[in-house]
Chains A and B, each alone.
Chain A
């Protein structure tokens, strides 16, 4: 089966120029996004998830960020090479974005309707009246009651969850091929989170879009993702289907993440947390960036960066533990427990 790739990121390097020096925020990231799928990018703060996706939209601050090398291919075009004008035609039309904080991402002095109409008028060349009709439709689509009245209201008259629905409506206005959701539920409370996730899944089916979902919440990942990329220190350290990442993780960092997530089996024991702090990307370590925090660290981890080892056709992990010469190590209890569940569910596959 040939899978259609909508978006392809190839060996991307991004740096920020600061007073302290060059921060190498993204150090060789490659992944692809397939038609209709949801790819989750997980990782702790500062791992480069947001920078990667902002670079796809070319929304990084111009004065201090730089795409050092690499390509971002969308429909055969390299987005890193486009002019601002060409990029404006893609933003909001082919690729759009949902932001983290709905409380601040809407313009407080502009009517909700006008904010939804903006991309419609710009990209689909709709008349004002037609755009308004469509805005009302979109509000209805994202589940806002009385859209005819709501369309003329201002953001302060909406609750946080409702505002996020509006932001989603704006993002979906032109039926984008790629939707980037940058922690869309982080700022919402748990019940609203569930509603918003449900809504996104539902809309994805309706308009057949591909989603890149950035989050640090593994519970959310399990809920929405088809595939998962785990990022650490400006690199992807493991990528695979959601089942593979959750039930058969290979990278010690992924083990750490999963062990630090409570599940039904977790008793009164203290929840695991990964010791140490993320690497300083001003001066990235020579070997594996995770090595100083890795309980399974080997000598080679400190000297040489691990390449990607293939686990299955869809599953790759960058850890020396997968090297044929590496000693066999036992993953943590929580990971083993999950692996056994998985084997049970899938009938010993």
Chain B
């Protein structure tokens, strides 16, 4: 297990290195410079700034400079936000995004898995049709429309919850629901398909032949086996939710990562683009590792036993 983890860690670093390199050169292809503001800055001032931040050096030189700083843990400073270190910028912004993403993920996947499982158990009943309908609606209606509807009916008309901003737990409810619709519908659809397949398998018939009750069959035998493929899709989905859905953050005025990321691309704020992208990549590889470990817990066939074979 330790050996396996070590190996995975090395692969993770290689992945991150490749992501950093590719992002760096792609980013340099974006036209313009961070200081392209002719109304406030003269050409001389712009040149001074470019010189100061080393942006007049050849791209390979900039690359090596950036990478050597990166290894030391220095992500540089933002051009747009008064030379604030990128780590600090991200640190300030990651909280709301992570809270929102995690809540949406947990809410969405739990309800989705539950709905999918029930739909499969009661196949072709009204419960099945309702949950399938919900899943289709959740997947096909864009989250911003859903967010708008929630704001209008729940916040404005009924006045139960605040319309926007980020000032406490009650402020998180509406954006969480809006963001949860997508993981909900994905996991419901996957779960239903998998569950139906599992319920038709031979070992379920054998469980019935043993005299197991309906409940035992569904929970002990079917659920766990049906969960395996669902975990695969939910992993990467979790990252994209945690790193912030720009649309939802914008609509609810949530000071999250997504909003800042798009702003940094629009203004050629190179260090912030690099820093945020690397964070996304890091989260991604970590989640994939977690998913692989989860696999082992759920499915003994792919458990990483190392040399423990008896």
CB of A119 within 8 Å of the partner chain = yes
CB of A156 within 8 Å of the partner chain = yes
CB of B208 within 8 Å of the partner chain = yes
Q: Which of B123, B208, B211, B300 contacts A93 (CB 8 A)?
A: B211
Neighbouring A residues of B298 by C-beta, 8 Å: 109
Neighbouring A residues of B221 by C-beta, 8 Å: 107, 110
Rounded to whole Å, the gap between the CB of B301 and the closest CB of chain A is 5
Contact of B209 with A97 in the complex, beta carbons under 8 Å: yes
Known A92-B211, A118-B212, A154-B300; contact A106-B206, beta-carbon cutoff 8 A: yes
Contact of B224 with A105 in the complex, beta carbons under 8 Å: no
Kindly state the separation between the CA atoms of A91 and B310 in the bound complex, as whole angstroms.
Answer: 35
Rounded to whole Å, the gap between the CB of A52 and the closest CB of chain B is 15
Neighbouring A residues of B211 by C-beta, 8 Å: 88-93, 119, 122-123
Known A99-B205, A101-B202; contact A108-B210, beta-carbon cutoff 8 A: no
Specify the chain B residue showing the minimal Cβ separation from A61. Answer: B200
Specify the chain A residue showing the minimal Cβ separation from B210. Answer: A92
Most buried by B among A90, A111, A118, A154: A118
Contact of B212 with A122 in the complex, beta carbons under 8 Å: yes
Rounded to whole Å, the gap between the CB of A150 and the closest CB of chain B is 10
Kindly state the separation between the CA atoms of A108 and B208 in the bound complex, as whole angstroms.
Answer: 16
Kindly state the separation between the CA atoms of A123 and B211 in the bound complex, as whole angstroms.
Answer: 8
Neighbouring A residues of B300 by C-beta, 8 Å: 108-109, 111, 154, 156
Q: Which of A93, A111, A122, A167 contacts B206 (CB 8 A)?
A: A167
Specify the chain B residue showing the minimal Cβ separation from A170. Answer: B210
Rounded to whole Å, the gap between the CB of B121 and the closest CB of chain A is 12
Contact of A91 with B209 in the complex, beta carbons under 8 Å: yes
CB of B207 within 8 Å of the partner chain = yes
Contact of B203 with A96 in the complex, beta carbons under 8 Å: no
CB of A149 within 8 Å of the partner chain = yes
CB of A57 within 8 Å of the partner chain = yes
Most buried by A among B123, B205, B211, B301: B211
Contact of B210 with A105 in the complex, beta carbons under 8 Å: no
> Hey, what's the 0/1 contact readout for A41-64 against B, CB within 8 Å counting as 1?
000000000000000010100010
CB of A69 within 8 Å of the partner chain = no
CB of B213 within 8 Å of the partner chain = yes
Contacts of B70-104 to chain A: CB distance below 8 A: none
Neighbouring B residues of A101 by C-beta, 8 Å: 202
Contacts of A87-143 to chain B: CB distance below 8 A: 88-93, 96-97, 99, 101, 104-111, 118-119, 122-123
Q: Which of B123, B205, B213, B310 contacts A105 (CB 8 A)?
A: B205
Rounded to whole Å, the gap between the CB of B216 and the closest CB of chain A is 8
Known A109-B300, A167-B206; contact A104-B201, beta-carbon cutoff 8 A: yes
Contact of A109 with B212 in the complex, beta carbons under 8 Å: no
Contact of A118 with B225 in the complex, beta carbons under 8 Å: no
Rounded to whole Å, the gap between the CB of A181 and the closest CB of chain B is 12
Specify the chain B residue showing the minimal Cβ separation from A119. Answer: B210
Rounded to whole Å, the gap between the CB of A230 and the closest CB of chain B is 25
Rounded to whole Å, the gap between the CB of B212 and the closest CB of chain A is 6
CB of B51 within 8 Å of the partner chain = no
Contact of B212 with A108 in the complex, beta carbons under 8 Å: no
**A-B contacts besides A104-B202, A107-B206, A108-B299, 13 pairs, CB < 8 Å:** A88-B212, A92-B211, A97-B206, A101-B202, A107-B203, A108-B203, A109-B298, A109-B299, A119-B210, A122-B211, A154-B300, A156-B300, A171-B209
Selected A-B contacts with CB under 8 Å, 8 pairs: A63-B123, A89-B211, A92-B210, A92-B211, A93-B211, A107-B221, A111-B300, A170-B210
